[in-house]
Structure 1
Amino acid sequence: MAVKFLGQYLLEQGLLTREQLLEALEVQRQCSPMLGELAVEAGLLDARQAQTINDRQRQEDKRFGDIAAELGLLDAAQVDQLLALQKSRRKLFGEILTERGMLTRAQLEQALAEQQAERASAEQDYRQALAGHPLEREIALAIDTANKQFTRILKSRSQFSAVRDAPLEQVDRVSACIEVEASRRLLIGLAADPATTRQIACAFMRIKPERCDDELARDALGELLNVIMGYVIRDTLADDEGYTPSPPDLDLGLPALAAKADHALTVAMTSELGEFELLVGR
């Protein structure tokens, strides 16, 4: 079993067409503006100021409003105003589907029940895989960090999908691997198919698909991994502990990285940009 977004599940079950899914996702995006967009729309920030805060979020694990307040660009009342506006506009994905006649209420409720049953099974597998694992904390942090950075940097949702017995072996997969030497070695890697890698790269660098070639996409995957690794290291090593990270290895591949590890766990992740794998080992 695997954890899926509701739209993915409905598409796989034949309850939505791809065109309907894309339409509903676009409506949901319009109903879920980022705080920076709302601040610019309300005249509280200009586009440059909003981008400055977004750029700070690449380096700091802080909320948009907290960084804006630190920079003196928004006060607490203004942040609360934006949060209330964001909440008032938000619509659940299922609500959009029924409002637009894509699903009946009965179809939606049945699909939600079935999806939740699959989610519960996959999450049970995840808990069992992590229980007692030597890297339990590091794995949980890596997944949580990936999810946060997809939201903050890539403006897309990401979540755990399933535990893998081993990384996928497809020869065309794009990968990035980093090794950190500290009091104990830490290995972490990302891998995705070429189409998903390009989607990630375009979102990461804010560029159009026609400007993204294969080399640029690989480099962007490595930079995203650098960000994830930085947060995992910050939250697992002592403040005074030195460490030496390698630059991202874009040629090794996750199967080879797993073979180097004494302990490793690979999880499948799903995102609105496509599926990818995350490996943590030592």
Structure 2
Amino acid sequence: MELTEANPLTAAAGRNESLHRAFQILRLLSKNDSGASVAALSAESGLPRTTVSRLLASLFDVGAVARPGTDRLWVLGPAISELSGSVQHDVALQIVGLSVLESFTAEFDETCMMAVPVAESMATVTEEVKGTHLLGISGTWKGQTVSSLDSGFVRMLLAELPSQKTKTILDKQFDGSAQELRELTESIDGIRLNDYSVVVDTLEAGLSGIGVPVRKSGRLVAMLATYLPTSRFTEDFRIGALSALRQGAETIASR
């Protein structure tokens, strides 16, 4: 009698129901770029809220989901982008990007980094090359997911969106004064107009940065930026760094 191997994909193989439910939640989040609440996910999936909350907690532990805003909405996390094989984490993009960062730091001796979008207002730093000068914050930014509205990366992401969409996100996530909201909105409008970001003393007192988008076929796939002490962020540096970053963005986009 010939023996046949059992199909590992059949129900008899004892598939884990929690895994199926987790993927159900991930699929729903993939269709909601702005994020979704536990209540909304429960309604769309038909699962109890307690089950959805438990699944989200497990997915959060492995970086598959994130909750970056003050509105408590859930979005897909950086681990999904890393596994997806999407253009954000294309190997060639990373290799060329690292080469561009190394060239920039060799010329300016300042820390330079590349980030990729993982949500409408969230980015992950994928590469970083440190200058010999100390950056305002110790340690490394590589691998960190950034969601702060004070970040030039996040502001560049918001500038890619239609104005009304940006306003909706700011209404949900921003909790500062009316004056601070106006300044933030003007900053994002300036990025739309000039196609680069400048932040001064927002992420940290005494720390400034300038960044540019990297686009392929009109789609933002990455961002380049340098951060340095505000005391060294002169007009001459801004002009030179902007030119070098833009050349770097063109190099990455052409590969």
- Per the normalisation by structure 1, the TM-score is 0.28
Instruction: Please say which structure displays the higher CA radius of gyration.
Output: 2
Of Structure 1 and Structure 2, the greater strand share is in: 2
**Looking at both structures, which has the greater relative contact order when contacts are Cα pairs under 8 Å and sequence separation is at least 6?**
1
Taking structure 2 as the reference length, what is the TM-score of the superposition?
Answer: 0.30
Between Structure 1 and Structure 2, which shows a larger proportion of helix residues?
Answer: 1
